[in-house]
Amino acid sequence: MTHCAHLLIIGGSDAGISAALRAKELAPSTEVTILLSDNFPNFSICGLPFFLSGEVSDWRNLAHRTKDDITREGIQLLINHTATAIHPTEKAVIAVDTKGQKKHIHYDRLVIGTGAVSRRPSIQGIELPGVYFLRWMTDSFAVQKHLIEYNPQSVVIVGGGYIGLEMADALVLRGLRVTLVEHSATVLKTVDPSLGEMVSAELQSRGVAVATGISIEAIQEKGNQLLVIGSNGFEAIADMVLVAVGAKPSTQLAESAGVELGFGNAIRVNRKMETNIPDIYAAGDCVETWHRLLQKSIYLPLGTTAHKQGRTAGENAVGGNAEFAGSLGTQVVKVFELAIARTGLRDSEASEAGFDPMTIESEIWDHKVYYPGAHKLRIRVTGDRRSGPLLGAQMVGHYQGEVAKRIDIFATALFHQMEVDKLSDLDLSYTPPFSNPWDPVPMTAQTWSQRFSPYSYKGDT
Ligand SMILES: Cc1cc2nc3c(=O)[nH]c(=O)nc-3n(C[C@H](O)[C@H](O)[C@H](O)COP(=O)(O)OP(=O)(O)OC[C@H]3O[C@@H](n4cnc5c(N)ncnc54)[C@H](O)[C@@H]3O)c2cc1C
């Protein structure tokens, strides 16, 4: 391995920490420093909704590792330091601490893991007190403070993506009346509308008012409350507003150093996580992500991906030759009693990518119905009808119905480019409390094959 005397990493979250740990594992003599702008290295921001719901009682428990755990690995932490400039020719980064003190830090190799920031849609009044975002630990402290100090009774959540949905669940648990507003026709538009409708029904059954097809245009103060105004005459009054309309890559620092940007203004990287500038790598929510099925880069920010990309960058920064294997966009979210998951491509995405997709939807018990607690799983499987490879799967079921692990079976099959037919050959486990002799995964695959086996393909039908 090429020796790297000093590896500097900007960003102390999933990507940055993974890079540092991998580098230390492979090259213990390399000096590794992580620079991060806040005081919360290696915190699980994915857990913020569960802290705000009260299910996680102490925010400190959200730390994947403590500062001591990290420094014990021989990694230096420079907390509360914001990198303000990168000088690639001098191989130096300028960082400023909270008192304005500047540091000039030399590197041999640099990993940029600056993550993403919340999207701020152009809504008039979005800066008003009582309007919140959720990305950082400090965002969650602000929401928690508001909940404790003002005891709000109602909230409007703008955005029906996974963070908006998790927060609807969390704030119902905290006793608030929740209105969820989504501009698309169904919530959770990362799954097909038939599954999105199931999520809406679950929200409504818990008392959440769901308004779809609405674009929020303005927020105004109305006494002690906030009036939220949207398209189609939508109006709602609430004690607080949470805006959760997605994230965008944080790339200003990289761009001003001459680092090239790619898809969605994320940092352009190759599969070794190298940028266009020698000795500068990047990983996580600030970069574009190689999609294994599409065979091209897109923007797909996820914690799982950030860990893998960070590990790849860390390995290569100390002289390795690793390649990021690519994402399938596998994800899962829990909304009240439901778990909703997906992997790979949906029908419309597959068509757009030039496949000839065929999707079936089926409903199957998650375990033997004679054993208590059985629920139906709704599964959608997409395969290519010309040649039979699996292209994607989506699933909704009870949160104790192994939805996440079942979508992972599909994800593993996709990773290995299996044909839908071949899912029936997998040797999966079975006992009545957990499954059926034919698990719902191969059962759905069989339905797909019966309906549209490539071997019986007779042209367009
Ligand atoms: C509420 C919520 C729930 C989520 N749930 C899930 C989930 O269930 N599953 C999933 O896979 N993903 C989930 N995600 C997404 C996941 O958290 C991100 O994909 C992941 O955190 C990305 O890690 P990262 O290291 O790339 O960047 P980030 O976590 O964004 O971290 C960026 C780091 O860079 C530092 N930084 C930025 N700029 C500078 C600078 N100029 N100088 C110094 N330091 C800087 C920051 O302080 C931070 O340490 C969730 C995200 C949120 C907000």
Residue pair 219/241 in contact (Cβ under 8 Å)? The answer is yes
How much distance in Å is there from the Cα of 115 to the middle of ligand 1?
5
Question: Is the shortest distance between the CB of 11 and ligand 1 below 6 Å?
Answer: yes
409 by DSSP, 3-state: which? Answer: helix
Neighbours of 257 (CB within 10 A): 19
Alpha carbon of 299 to ligand 1 centroid (Å): 14
Residue 83 in contact with ligand 1 by CB distance below 6 A: yes
Atom of ligand 1 nearest to the CA of 136: 53
Nearest CA to ligand 1 atom 49: 12
Whole-angstrom CA distances from 379 to 186, 194, 282, 342, 363 are 18, 11, 36, 10, 6
Which segments of the chain have a pLDDT < 70? Answer: 1-2, 453-461
Nearest CA to ligand 1 atom 29: 13
Q: How far apart are CA 218 and CA 206, in angstroms?
A: 27
265: left (phi over 0), alpha (psi -120 to 50) or beta: left
Q: Nearest-5° angle of CA 454, CA 356, CA 404?
A: 85
Question: Ligand 1: which residue has its CA nearest to atom 46?
Answer: 11
Q: Which residues contact 419 (CB under 8 A, 6 or more apart)?
A: 383, 387, 388, 389, 390, 454
Separation of CA 135 and ligand 1 centre (Å)? 7
Atom of ligand 1 nearest to the CA of 47: 3
H/E stretch holding 361 reads strand 357-365
Spatial separation of the C-alpha atoms in residues 8 and 76, rounded to whole Å? 10
SS3 428: coil
Closest atom of ligand 1 relative to the 38 alpha carbon = 47
Pocket test for ligand 1, best of 67, 112, 285 (most atoms within 8 A of CB): 285
Strand positions, DSSP E, 128-224: 131-132, 154-158, 177-182, 209-212, 216-222
Q: What is the mean pLDDT of the chain?
A: 96
Q: How far is the CA of 34 from the centre of ligand 1 (A)?
A: 15
Cα separation, 332 vs 328, in Å, equals 13
The per-residue DSSP string of 179-194 comes to EEEESSSSS-TTS-HH
Q: Determine the pLDDT at residue 454.
A: 56
Q: Cβ distance 445 to 424 under 8 Å?
A: yes
State the pLDDT at residue 108.
98
DSSP 455: G
Q: Check pocket membership of 12 for ligand 1, CB cut-off 6 A.
A: yes
With the most atoms of ligand 1 within 8 angstroms of its CB, the residue from 9, 14, 331 to mutate is 14
Contact 226, 220 (CB under 8 A): yes
Residue 49 CA, ligand 1 centroid: distance in Å: 14
Give residue 2's pLDDT: 66
The answer to pTM > 0.75 is yes
- For the packed helices 14-26 and 303-317, what is the interaxial angle rounded to 10 degrees? 30
Task: Tell me, rounded to whole angstroms, the distance of Cα 162 from its chain centroid.
Answer: 8
Residue 206 tokens read as 């818990």
What pLDDT does 1 receive?
60
Cβ 300 under 6 angstroms from ligand 1: no
Distance CA 67, CA 49 (A): 23
Say if ligand 1 is within 6 A of residue 164 CB.
no
Q: What is the Å distance from ligand 1's center to 62 Cα? A: 13
| CA 67, 68, 74, 80 torsion-angle sign | positive
pLDDT of residue 452: 77
Residue with tokens 């919530």: 187
Task: Please work out whether the CB of residue 285 comes within 6 Å of at least one atom of ligand 1.
Answer: yes
Q: What is the pLDDT of residue 460?
A: 41
